[in-house]
Amino acid sequence: MRTAARVAPFLAILLLLSSAPSLRAQEQPPIVVTSLSAGYTFGQQATFGIEVTADAGITALYLYLQEEGKPQIDVISAPFEPGTSARAGHQRDLRLYPFPPFGQVTWWWEIWDGADHRLTTDPSTFQYVDNRFEWQTGISEPIRVHTVVADPAYLRAALDVAQASLTRITQELEAPEPERVDIYLYPSLTDLRAALEMAGREWMGGQARPELGVVLVAVPYDDEFVTRMEQDIPHELTHLVIYQVAGPVGYAYIPAWLNEGLAMVNQVHPDPSLDALLEQARLEGRLIPLSDLCAPFPTDPETALLSYAQSASLVQYIRGQYGGAGIRALLSAYADGAGCEGGIIQALDTTPERLDLAWRAYLMGISGWATWLSDNAAWLLLWGLSLLLALPMTGAVCRRRR
């Protein structure tokens, strides 16, 4: 009994030692990823890499890429030297196949080996920001301002303008605040255009990516930077708030005249040159029909600027006649999928033609008479015809009396 008791522990140790190699073999996965990497130079090239081993030999390596806001997934078969270990990479030319600026990119790998094992790595993400600049960030939730200017006053001014503008716009449109807003302040229009390739749109001081919650504006660091912020930041924030109201599907139905017109009138400092441009076009009979302002504005600078000026004036007129409720009713109608004409009829109980006529009369300072004439045109016509019919009878009576 004593001998058996002494031998038992040694037997247990021997059993554990003999089984250790098989346990280690079971714990060792058939495919082991030893390295993963991803990097990019904004607007130039993105690079993805992987190193992997497998006792059965690597037979295939696939890179998966998905851009934020897009349901489709790109699958790339990466070339490599076959063997029990492999190293592969993929280079994407961002000049030909760009990622959405400031959007999120998700990527992962799938590996096959000779024993029909498959391994999928966990998805990784990165934000495709403009890494040509060293950005400094200031936060006032939900707003984050990113700038290359090393001046706390500049950064604080941007945060204050953005916060005040966002509060004002969301209250007017009765919209929820976005969960997060990222505002990137570029030091010049040249740098902004280089980032977004806005060729032919020199008049644009910024751009909004509502689906990403991103605003891009060019604010040079000079004596006028606060004025520029108060003009461009509220403009672009308006697009984000409209997106909050309409949603990702309904936003596509918002006509350009309403989307851009609201953005223009929300600027703290409107551009006075646009008022002069609008008046000149009115005097020369070059005003654009309302129906032509439903689609995205053209790239031609002269026509585009007039489109912005008319849209701002039209939205101001609607505000004055129908109040904030009229604006919200328009946004609601379009968010529900109404067409450009149908939204006006549904929300304002008028036709686009009558709205256009009333607005043009408003420009000339005779809005009340023009609206009355438009509303009573049919009765005025009947009254005029009755006068014409009555004239012969009146003449006959007069001749009899003579």
Range of lowest pLDDT (3-12, 29-38, 242-251, 387-396):
3-12
Q: Which residues of 234-268 are buried (b: 16+ CB within 10 A; e: fewer)?
A: bbbbbbbbbbbbbeeebbebbbbbbbbbbbbbbbb
Residue 54, classed as helix, strand or coil, is: strand
pLDDT band at 204 (very low <50, low <70, confident <90, very high): low
The total of other beta-carbon atoms located within 10 Å of residue 382's CB is: 10
Q: How confident is the model at residue 347 (pLDDT cuts 50, 70, 90)?
A: very high
- pLDDT tens digits, 124-165: 999 999 998 999 999 999 999 999 999 999 999 999 999 999
Mean pLDDT, range 99-121, rounded to an integer: 94
72 exposure class (CB count in 10 Å sphere: 0-12, 13-18, 19+): exposed
Domain 31-127 and domain 134-253, same fold? Reply is: no
Name the residue with higher pLDDT: 317 or 365: 317
- What pLDDT shows up at residue 390? 56
pLDDT number for residue 385: 55
Do the Cβ atoms of 254 and 246 come closer than 8 Å? yes
pLDDT at 196 (0 to 100): 74
pLDDT tops 60 at residue 39: yes
**What is the band of 3 on the pLDDT scale with cuts at 50, 70, 90?**
very low
As a CATH number, domain 31-127 is: 2.60.40.10
For residue 8, pLDDT beyond 70: no
| pLDDT(371) > 70 | no
Is the pLDDT score of 370 beyond 70?
Answer: no
User: What pLDDT digit, counting tens, does each position of 291-333 carry?
Assistant: 999 999 988 888 999 999 999 999 999 999 999 999 999 999 9
- Of 99, 56, 62, 89, nearest to 77 (Cα)? 62
Residue type at position 1: M
**What pLDDT is stored for residue 220 in this prediction?**
95
Distance CA 351, CA 373 (A): 15
Report the residue count for the chain: 402
Mean pLDDT, to the nearest integer, of 178-200?
A: 83
Average pLDDT, the chain: 86
How confident is the model at residue 272, as a pLDDT? 84
- Rounded mean pLDDT, 367-382: 50
pLDDT tens by residue, 57-77:
999 999 999 998 888 999 999
pLDDT higher than 50, residue 13: no
User: Is the confidence at residue 18, as pLDDT, over 70?
Assistant: no
Question: In the beta sheet, which residues pair with residue 97?
Answer: none
Q: Domain spans of the chain?
A: 31-127, 134-253, 255-370
Lowest-pLDDT range of 168-177, 193-202, 336-345: 193-202
Each residue's pLDDT tens digit, 256-290: 999 999 999 999 988 888 999 999 999 999 999 99
Query: At residue 374, does pLDDT exceed 70?
Result: no
pTM confidence score: 0.78
Please state, in angstroms and rounded to a whole number, the distance separating the CA atoms of residues 356 and 253: 20
Share of the chain above pLDDT 70, in %: 82
- CATH class, domain 134-253, is alpha beta
- Top pLDDT among 197 and 123 is at 123
For residues 146 and 212, give the distance between their C-alpha atoms in angstroms, rounded to a whole number.
Answer: 15
Residue 10 pLDDT: 45
pLDDT confidence band for 372 (50 / 70 / 90)? very low
